[in-house]
């Protein structure tokens, strides 16, 4: 235990976390530079493609330092704002962090957010400037900026080039000397925290755990404190990064346990595991489940509902920020209403459904929560406009957040413009050195889609933001319906602010028309709000001249062809609902 170091590498995206992790693994395993050239850590196919780290990985390494054997446990974490809670979870397993800063790009938004998260959790922080091989960098200036920004940082600022492997040995020396070992009571009862879990087709349910007290044994029964569920551990082990099984794991370790598949519903990430029988009902300090902000309905297009259901269970095991509950649609059948943290999270889940489970999906427009007051006196918080009759609505209140934006002072005017455009109400502006903190009250529906990207663009990547729920406030929110040939398309309604109905309504119509343009029947698409049509577009069917190729007068043949064409049209006419695909949603998100 004395020689265990549990640490994580955190940074703004692209500053080099995964590259540095690979270098540290190579160094400890005495592998040559770049022999781990596929980034072992980004093992999920999707991660490699998007170049981002979604699910964190923990890898155990042994290292000989001053003739003593050390066990270094390295956790690679995601850098995107949508995954901050994932980062926090893994940090619960660590005693320290390396905060990587790109020598050229310097301190960026997520650098500051990550520093504060680690600091608040009481972790030892080591700042490392990476990419010192790049030309035109000024390390002296960057160090000055770091000291100014992180006043309570009093350790040495380290330097390295993960690309070329400079400075790695020194980083490891600092990890050993400055990051504290875990402190726990070996002979006490067992307490282990479930940090993460996932489903593996060959191995079954895998729980990533950190042991805070006691010893965990293979083949013994354990209890999950949140639901008093008892089950047997099949196997325990550690990632090195390849799987290695052990008979037992002692406290201070981050490892995994494997349990039987039938227990999938009983697993809660953040739960405490203890011995069976359970005498000490003490939960470990744990992280909060993040609230879903963005909701869509998902229906399976190419698979049966039961398969879809089982796939969701497996996905959920690995992504506890996802929420889902049953939904039924007359058109699309059985599906789920799902909640996500943001757009990227939604995109990743849809992509994973397809890649890992081969499920193609039909989805609806995203919505957020609204507080709806009905004429009959009832009120409800809802995010799904589809089953609500607008005639019964008295008023709608929208979700307002307190938004804090941090940025270098020079971008202040553009930021204020952006906030005003998105119906923000200014509350405060605080100047500090070269930075400014801008506080706004702003509707969530204005900032959840593209706002963060816009902020990044206007501040050259330097601005960052965070927000939290403030109140529900009365607003001009309406329900927008889409009609195809005068019939409402169920499941495609959305809540929207009145000032946006024309822009968004027309864009949606244009996008849908493109979708229909190849169909052989007349199409009329309309947008209605409060039972009034506010926009209408039509395309005429294009009638193929099927008999043009028939020379001469064989009337029977002509009739046959015309009949066939008519049958085709009849079939298409029945097609008065359609399946929305991701591209339509993505176009929608670009304009909202
Ligand atoms: P992450 O998003 O923080 O995990 O960043 P990655 O490790 O994926 O690195 C982002 C990019 O920076 C990749 O193209 C790396 O090759 C590059 N990179 C990482 N470390 C260095 C370095 O020390 N020097 C240079 N020149 N490039 C680096
Ligand atoms: Mg990475």
| Residues with a CB atom less than 6 Å from ligand 1 | 11, 13-19, 53, 79, 130-131, 133-134, 161-163
For 388, which DSSP code? -
Q: Is pLDDT above 50 for 85?
A: yes
Q: What is the pLDDT of residues 18-40, one digit of tens each?
A: 889 889 988 998 776 666 654 45
Contacts of 90 (CB under 8 A, 6+ apart): 8, 56, 58, 75, 77, 195, 196
How many Å lie between the centroid of ligand 2 and the Cα of residue 124?
21
What's the confidence (pLDDT) of residue 329? 79
Rg (CA), the chain: 28
d(CA 342, CA 119): 25
Extract the tokens encoding 472. 């529900």
Tell me if the domain spanning 370-475 has CATH number 3.40.50.1820: no
At the topology level, CATH places domain 294-364 in Alpha-Beta Plaits (3.30.70)
Counting ligands in written order, the one closest to the CA of 17 is 1
What's the confidence (pLDDT) of residue 257? 92
Could you give the percent of the chain with pLDDT greater than 90? 46
pLDDT-based confidence at residue 216 (cuts at 50, 70, 90)? very high
How many Å lie between the centroid of ligand 2 and the Cα of residue 450?
23
pLDDT-based confidence at residue 51 (cuts at 50, 70, 90)? low
Q: Is pLDDT above 70 for 155?
A: yes
The overall average pLDDT reported for the chain is: 84
d(CA 13, CA 80): 6
How many Å lie between the centroid of ligand 2 and the Cα of residue 76?
7
Q: HSE of 155 in the Cβ direction (CA atoms, 13 Å)?
A: 19
What's the confidence (pLDDT) of residue 336? 95
Counting ligands in written order, the one closest to the CA of 44 is 2
ipTM for the complex shown? 0.99
Q: Is pLDDT above 90 for 305?
A: yes
d(CA 364, CA 329): 11
Atom of ligand 1 nearest to the CA of 41: 4
Residues with CB under 5 A from ligand 2 (ion): 17-18, 53
What's the confidence (pLDDT) of residue 571? 43
- Structural element, H or E, at residue 539: strand 532-539
Arithmetic mean of pLDDT, 88-93: 87
User: Candidates 17, 19, 48, 80: which one to mutate for ligand 1, based on the most atoms within 8 Å of Cβ?
Assistant: 19
Residue 592, burial from CB neighbour count under 10 angstroms (0-12, 13-18, 19+): buried
Counting ligands in written order, the one closest to the CA of 80 is 1
d(CA 591, CA 587): 7
Q: What is the pLDDT of residues 380-430, one digit of tens each?
A: 999 988 878 889 999 999 999 999 998 999 999 999 999 999 999 999 999
How many Å lie between the centroid of ligand 1 and the Cα of residue 55?
18
How many Å lie between the centroid of ligand 2 and the Cα of residue 16?
7
pLDDT-based confidence at residue 586 (cuts at 50, 70, 90)? low
Counting ligands in written order, the one closest to the CA of 100 is 1
Q: Is pLDDT above 70 for 563?
A: no
Q: Whose Cα sits closest to atom 17 in ligand 1?
A: 16
Q: HSE of 7 in the Cβ direction (CA atoms, 13 Å)?
A: 31
Tell which CATH classification among 3.40.630.30, 3.40.50.300, 3.40.50.2020, 3.10.620.30 matches the domain 4-178. Answer: 3.40.50.300
Residue 448 and residue 293 in contact, taking contact as beta carbons nearer than 8 Å:
yes
Atom of ligand 1 nearest to the CA of 15: 3
Angle at 87 (CA atoms; ends 82, 89), nearest 5 degrees: 120
What's the confidence (pLDDT) of residue 497? 92
For 266, which DSSP code? G
Q: Give me the residue spans of the domains in the chain.
A: 4-178, 191-274, 294-364, 370-475, 481-489+511-591
How many Å lie between the centroid of ligand 2 and the Cα of residue 14?
7
Is there a common fold for 294-364 and 370-475? yes
How many Å lie between the centroid of ligand 2 and the Cα of residue 248?
31
Phi, psi (5° rounding) for residue 76? -95, 135
For 214, which DSSP code? S
Q: Whose Cα sits closest to atom 24 in ligand 1?
A: 131
pLDDT-based confidence at residue 212 (cuts at 50, 70, 90)? very high
Residue 165 and residue 23 in contact, taking contact as beta carbons nearer than 8 Å:
yes
Q: Is pLDDT above 60 for 325?
A: yes
How many Å lie between the centroid of ligand 2 and the Cα of residue 52?
5
What's the confidence (pLDDT) of residue 569? 47
Q: Is pLDDT above 70 for 552?
A: no
Residue 445 and residue 494 in contact, taking contact as beta carbons nearer than 8 Å:
no
Return the CATH class of domain 191-274: mainly beta
User: Candidates 16, 25, 99, 110: which one to mutate for ligand 1, based on the most atoms within 8 Å of Cβ?
Assistant: 16
Residue 296 and residue 581 in contact, taking contact as beta carbons nearer than 8 Å:
no
């Amino acid at each position: 235990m004395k020689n265990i170091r549990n640490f994580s590498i955190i940074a703004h995206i692209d500053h080099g976390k995964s590259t540095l992790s690979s270098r540290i693994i190579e160094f400890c395993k005495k592998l040559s530079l770049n022999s781990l050239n596929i980034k072992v850590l980004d093992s999920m196919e999707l991660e490699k493609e998007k170049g981002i780290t979604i699910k964190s990985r923990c890898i155990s390494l042994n290292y000989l330092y001053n003739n003593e054997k050390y066990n270094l446990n390295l956790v690679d974490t995601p850098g995107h704002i949508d995954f901050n809670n994932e980062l926090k979870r893994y940090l619960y397993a660590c005693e320290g962090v390396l905060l990587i800063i790109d020598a050229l790009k310097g301190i960026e938004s997520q650098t500051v957010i990550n520093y504060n998260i680690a600091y608040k959790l009481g972790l030892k922080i080591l700042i490392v400037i990476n990419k010192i091989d790049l030309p035109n960098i000024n390390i002296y200036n960057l160090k000055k900026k770091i000291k100014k920004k992180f006043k309570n940082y009093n350790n040495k600022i380290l330097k390295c080039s993960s690309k070329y492997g400079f400075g790695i040995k020194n980083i490891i020396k600092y990890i050993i000397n400055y990051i504290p070992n875990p402190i726990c009571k070996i002979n006490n009862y067992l307490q282990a925290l479930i940090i993460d879990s996932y489903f593996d087709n060959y191995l079954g349910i895998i729980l990533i755990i950190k042991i805070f007290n006691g010893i965990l044994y293979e083949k013994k029964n354990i209890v999950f404190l949140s639901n008093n569920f008892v089950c047997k551990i099949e196997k325990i082990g550690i990632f090195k990064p390849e799987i290695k099984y052990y008979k037992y794991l002692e406290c201070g370790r981050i490892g995994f346990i494997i349990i039987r598949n039938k227990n999938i519903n009983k697993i809660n990430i953040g739960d405490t595991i203890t011995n069976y029988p359970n005498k000490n009902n003490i939960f470990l300090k744990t992280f909060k489940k993040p609230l879903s902000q963005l909701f869509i309905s998902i229906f399976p297009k190419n698979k049966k509902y039961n398969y879809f259901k089982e796939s969701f269970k497996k996905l959920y095991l690995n992504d506890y920020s996802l929420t889902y509950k049953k939904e039924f649609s007359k058109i699309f059948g059985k599906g789920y209403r799902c909640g996500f943290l943001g757009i990227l999270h939604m995109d990743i889940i849809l992509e994973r459904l397809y890649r890992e489970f081969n499920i193609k999906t039909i989805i609806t427009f995203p919505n957020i929560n609204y507080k709806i007051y009905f004429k009959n006196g009832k009120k409800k918080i809802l995010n799904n406009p589809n089953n609500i009759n607008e005639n019964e609505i008295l008023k709608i209140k929208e979700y307002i957040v307190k938004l804090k934006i941090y940025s270098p002072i020079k971008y202040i005017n553009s930021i204020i413009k952006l906030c005003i455009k998105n119906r923000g109400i200014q509350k405060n502006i605080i100047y500090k050195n070269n930075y400014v903190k801008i506080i706004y009250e702003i509707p969530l529906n204005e900032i959840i889609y593209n706002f963060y990207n816009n902020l990044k663009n206007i501040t050259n990547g330097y601005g960052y933001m965070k927000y939290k729920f403030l109140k529900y406030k009365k607003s001009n929110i309406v329900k927008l319906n889409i009609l195809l040939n005068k019939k409402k398309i169920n499941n495609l309604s959305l809540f929207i602010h009145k000032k946006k109905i024309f822009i968004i309504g027309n864009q949606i119509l244009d996008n849908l028309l493109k979708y229909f343009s190849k169909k052989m029947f007349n199409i009329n698409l309309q947008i209605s709000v409060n039972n009034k049509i506010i926009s209408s577009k039509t395309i005429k069917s294009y009638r193929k001249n099927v008999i043009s190729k028939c020379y001469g007068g064989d009337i029977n043949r002509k009739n046959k062809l015309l009949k066939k064409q008519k049958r085709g049209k009849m079939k298409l006419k029945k097609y008065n609902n359609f399946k929305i695909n991701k591209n339509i949603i993505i176009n929608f998100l670009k304009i909202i």
